[in-house]
């Protein structure tokens, strides 16, 4: 929703005020890779994603728990995962949110969301796990980063960015 400026003398109406209130909507992101190769698929993953937009501010909640039929793609460390944004972004952004990567049998790893094109975001891990263990394969996540993914693993996080 575009931001409409108030004009001098404009009347406050219920429609005008309701138009300013955030409304949450579900969204199912498209899961792809930066190369378009070794494309993953959600399969029977549990996807719980929603967003709201107030003016040009988009706030989104992202939660995916991978299932037994999830295909993580067979990519290499240079075939990074991408997830579609619910609303087109105004620009690319290096820090648009925070994510938790939950691996069965491992301590959680934290990352940040990077909007790498105006239609997708990628998740980057740079420092390691919360227990101080160094993460191997740090960088933009893929089928191998930061650990090998499995049934029951999940990705949870939030995004905040400006819409186009």
Q: Distance between CA 135 and CA 59 in Å, rounded?
A: 29
- Whether 1 maps to a domain, the answer reads no
Greater confidence (81 vs 109) lies with 81
Provide the number of structural domains found in the chain: 1
Percent of the chain predicted with pLDDT > 70: 84
- Whether 118 maps to a domain, the answer reads yes
DSSP 83-118: EE-SS-BSS-EEEEEEEEEE-TTS--EEEEEEEEET
- Whether 98 maps to a domain, the answer reads yes
Quick one: CA torsion of 93, 108, 53, 118, rounded to 10 degrees? 30
Greater confidence (1 vs 133) lies with 133
- Whether 90 maps to a domain, the answer reads yes
Q: What is the mean pLDDT of residues 128-147?
A: 66
User: Taking all residues of the chain, what is their mean pLDDT, rounded to a whole number?
Assistant: 86
Q: How confident is the model at residue 129 (pLDDT cuts 50, 70, 90)?
A: low
- Whether 4 maps to a domain, the answer reads no
Q: What pLDDT is stored for residue 92 in this prediction?
A: 97
Q: What is the mean pLDDT of residues 47-66?
A: 95
Q: How confident is the model at residue 137 (pLDDT cuts 50, 70, 90)?
A: low
- Whether 9 maps to a domain, the answer reads no
Closest CA to 64 of 85, 79, 93, 43: 43
- Cβ-contact 85, 119 below 8 angstroms: yes
Residue 135 has pLDDT above 60, yes or no: no
- Whether 51 maps to a domain, the answer reads yes
Q: How confident is the model at residue 9 (pLDDT cuts 50, 70, 90)?
A: confident
Question: 41-45, 107-111, 146-150: which has the highest mean pLDDT?
Answer: 41-45
- Whether 8 maps to a domain, the answer reads no
Q: How confident is the model at residue 106 (pLDDT cuts 50, 70, 90)?
A: low
Domain limits at 87?
A: 14-162
């Amino acid at each position: 929703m575009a931001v409409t400026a108030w004009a001098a003398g404009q009347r406050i109406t219920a429609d005008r005020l309701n138009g300013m209130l955030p409304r949450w909507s579900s969204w199912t992101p498209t899961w792809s890779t930066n190369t378009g190769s070794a494309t993953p698929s959600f399969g029977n993953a549990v996807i719980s994603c929603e967003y709201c937009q107030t003016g040009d501010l988009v706030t989104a909640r992202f939660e995916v728990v991978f299932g037994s039929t999830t295909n993580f793609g067979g990519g290499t460390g240079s075939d990074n995962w991408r997830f579609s944004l619910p609303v087109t972004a105004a620009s690319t952004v290096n820090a648009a949110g925070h994510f938790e990567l939950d691996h069965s049998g491992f301590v959680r790893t934290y990352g940040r969301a990077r909007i790498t094109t105006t239609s997708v975001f990628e998740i980057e891990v740079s420092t390691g796990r919360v227990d101080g263990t160094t993460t191997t394969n740090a960088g933009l996540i893929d089928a191998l980063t930061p650990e090998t993914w499995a049934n029951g693993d999940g990705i949870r996080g939030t995004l905040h960015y400006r819409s186009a």
